[in-house]
Amino acid sequence: MTPTIESAWASGRNNFNLIRLIAAWLVIYSHSWAITGSAGVDAIGALTHIKSGGALAVDAFFLISGFLVAASFQRNPLREFLLARALRIYPALIVCVLLSVCALGPLLTTAPDYWGDAKTWRYLWANASLWRAEFWLPGVFDALPRTAVNGSLWTLPIEGRLYLALVAAGLTGMLAPKRYLPAWTLAIAVACALAYLRAPLPEHLLNLLWVTGFFITGTLCWVYRQRIPLSIWPLLALLAAALAVRGTWWFGLAYAPLLAYATLYIALIPKLPAIAKNDLSYGLYLYGWPMQQLAFLAGATTAPGNTAAATVLALICAALSWFLIEQPALVWKQHLLKNRRLLKRVAAPADASR
């Protein structure tokens, strides 16, 4: 019998952490061409013609996020859901931003008044709050091919807003299957029409459409988890369709369902090496770009060399982030929720006796 997303999910074993770790590395790999100013594109960009390895990885991140966050929202009370999201994103992000502003900046800046420059404080508050992504610190990396301190941060404010949009959809009943599918269809149709009629779109708007589309598609897969089968045959059919139209405008339409289905199939069906306890993907994503810039300064000026050096440096930072910040935050969350539930149980008999 062909498993569905729900039956595969119910097994309790999945490969989401492994996929996210690979995706975070793909971002480093793909960025190495831009970081070093190298000509050409990465292997995935050469294969697809429209998506670099990093762009594909970000799409997969948002698909997985839409799926898992929808699952979390429907399984947990709203306060617990919001607390879990905040403690998963903010602690590691704030530390990363603080290190950039308070350590990396002062060590490398050529600006005469680094602390007095409004850009320094704007980088701190805008990135740490998820209000918007700010990429530059005064006098830092100014002479490099790419001057951004952390070019990967652009996805995080978008993701935070999509979390809030999902909450709004859930509270208004839009996550019910009968309501969500028409809304999803309309959103995808509008995005496709906008991309076609207004082409070429500015890069930031095109990126927004892609990642939002994958996020809401991940949510769609959760909402319809009982009805979506996971089989190798649909996957092969989608792959064949994508290969048939590679190099044409139609590839974008074939790429999206292929990536969505392939990601969930690989996440839920094969038994791959488990990474259940230590999730380094977020830290690898956060520190990848800054470590690539430092690796370039240290002499790793080719794409392969920069990828290799930055991978080692970013993995060290990711491990420190996980064990010193992210994991303790998650443990604290569990203690907080446990104490809150205990207080509710204690209060319940008192309320009943009134």
Q: Where are the domains of the chain?
A: 5-178+213-352
Residue 148 pLDDT greater than 90, yes or no:
yes
Residue 249 pLDDT greater than 90, yes or no:
no
Which of 27 and 12 is assigned the larger pLDDT? 27
Kindly state the greatest CA–CA separation across the chain.
75
CA–CA separation, 80 vs 88, rounded Å? 12
How far is the CA of 107 from the CAs of 110, 138, 139, 148, 296, in angstroms? 9, 12, 10, 16, 16
pLDDT bracket for residue 347 (50, 70, 90): low
Which phi and psi (to 5°) does residue 67 adopt? -70, -55
Q: What is the mean pLDDT of residues 73-89?
A: 94
Q: Exposed (0-12), middle (13-18) or buried (19+): which is 200, by Cβ within 10 Å?
A: exposed
Name the token pair of 274. 């488990």
Question: pTM for the whole thing?
Answer: 0.93
CA–CA separation, 286 vs 314, rounded Å? 8
pLDDT bracket for residue 254 (50, 70, 90): very high
pLDDT bracket for residue 346 (50, 70, 90): low
CA–CA separation, 96 vs 89, rounded Å? 11
> Nearest 5 degrees, angle CA 344-CA 348-CA 350?
125
Q: Which residue has the tokens 């139209």?
A: 245
Name the token pair of 128. 């740490």
Which of 333 and 175 is assigned the larger pLDDT? 175
pLDDT for position 336? 81
Asked, as a colleague might, if the bond just before 200 is cis with ω within 30 of 0, I would say: yes
pLDDT for position 273? 77
Most confident segment among 80-84, 285-289, 346-350: 285-289
**Of 127, 203, 129, 145, the residue nearest 137 (C-alpha):** 127
Q: What is the mean pLDDT of residues 256-280?
A: 89
pLDDT bracket for residue 353 (50, 70, 90): very low
pLDDT for position 59? 97
pLDDT bracket for residue 27 (50, 70, 90): very high
Which of 320 and 348 is assigned the larger pLDDT? 320
Q: Which residue has the tokens 């029409």?
A: 193
CA–CA separation, 262 vs 259, rounded Å? 5
